[in-house]
Chains A and B, each alone.
Chain A
Amino acid sequence: MLNTIRPKGRVIFAYLCIPVALFVFTVFVPLIAALYYGFTDWKGGPVKNFNGIQNYVQLFHDDVFWHSFGNNLYLVVACIIGQIGIAFIIVMLINSKLVKLKGIHRTFGFFPSTISALCIGFVWKMIYDQRTGLINWYLTEVLHKYKNMKSAPIWLGGEAAPIMLVLSIPLIWQYIGYYMVIILSAVASIDTSVLESAEIDGATGFQRAIYIIFPLIKNTLLVCITLCIAGNMKAFDSIYAMTEGGPGTSSMVMALYGYNQSFKSSNLGYGSTISVGIFVLSLAVIGGSQFILNYYMTDSYDREEKKRKKIRDKEARIAMKKRMKGGA
Chain B
Amino acid sequence: MKLRKVLALCLASAMTFSLAACGGAAATAPAEAPAQAEAPAETEDAAETEEVAADAVEAPAAESAESGLAYKGEINFMHYSTSEEAEGNGSSDGFRSCIATWEEAHPDITLNQDVLANADYKTQIATKAAADDLPDVFLLQGMNTANWAKQGLVLDLTDIIKSSPDAAGYNMDLLVPFTSEGKYYAMPAVSGGTCTVVMYDSNMWKEAGFDTFPTTWADVEKASEYFNEQGIDTIAFGNGGQWQMNSCFLSCFGYQYTGTEWFDHIIAGDGQASFADPDFITALEKTKALFADTKIFNSDFNSVTNEDAREYFISGDAAAFIGGNWDYSYVAETLKAEPEKLEAMKIAVLPEGDGATHYENMQNNGFGYGLAINAKVAEDPDKLDACVDLIEYLAGPSFAEYVGSKYGLGGFYKADFDTSGLNSWDVDLYNYSYVDNKAVAIYDSFLGGDVWNTLNPGLQDLTSGKTDAESLAKATQEAYEAFLAQ
Contact = CB atoms under 8 A, between A and B. Distances in A.
Interface in A246-282: 246-250, 260, 262-268
A5 interface: no
Contacts of B464: 157-159, 247-248
Chain B: interface secondary structure?
helix
Interface in B432-486: 448-450, 453, 457-458, 460-461, 464, 466-467, 486
Given A14-B12, A18-B15, A46 B300 contact: no
B129 A14 contact: no
Nearest to B228: A150
A158 B465 CA distance: 11
B313 to A, nearest CB: 13
Interface in A14-71: 14-15, 17-18, 21-22, 25-26, 42-47
Contacts of B460: 246-248
Interface centre among A131, A150, A247 (most CB of B within 10 A): A247
Interface stretch (B64-72, B110-118, B148-156, B167-175): B148-156
19 contacts: A11-B5, A15-B12, A18-B12, A18-B19, A43-B147, A44-B151, A45-B147, A45-B148, A46-B151, A131-B317, A244-B241, A245-B457, A249-B457, A263-B123, A264-B122, A264-B453, A265-B450, A266-B449, A267-B450
A246 B150 CA distance: 32
A171 interface: no
Contact of A131 (B144, B300, B457): B300
Given A45-B153, A158-B464, A246 B9 contact: no
Contacts of B461: 247-250
A46 B152 contact: yes
Contact of A248 (B9, B16, B450, B467): B467
Contacts of B231: 148, 150
Nearest to A156: B303
B126 A22 contact: no
B49 interface: no
Contacts of A250: 461, 466
Contacts of A25: 20, 23
B297 to A, nearest CB: 12
Contacts of A7: 8
Nearest to B130: A44
Interface residues of B, number: 48
B466 A248 contact: yes
B240 interface: yes
B152 A45 contact: yes
Contacts of B122: 263-264
Nearest to A157: B303
B16 A21 contact: yes
Interface string B285-306: 0000000000000111011100
Contacts of A264: 122, 126, 449, 453
A113 B334 CA distance: 38
A8 B8 CA distance: 10
B13 A14 contact: yes
A124 to B, nearest CB: 13
Contacts of B224: none
A14 B240 CA distance: 52
A238 interface: no
B127 interface: yes
Contacts of B23: 22, 25-26
A266 B458 contact: no
A228 to B, nearest CB: 27
B8 A247 contact: no
B112 to A, nearest CB: 22
A-B CB proximity, top 10 nearest:
A45-B151, A248-B461, A265-B450, A14-B12, A44-B130, A247-B460, A156-B303, A248-B460, A130-B300, A265-B453
A247 B303 contact: yes
Interface in B141-194: 144, 147-148, 150-153
Given A17-B12, A247-B461, A268 B130 contact: yes
B242 interface: yes
Contacts of B486: 43
Interface centre among A22, A148, A264 (most CB of B within 10 A): A264
A57 to B, nearest CB: 14
A232 interface: no
A14 B8 contact: yes
Contacts of A169: none
A116 to B, nearest CB: 13
Contacts of B51: none
A86 interface: no
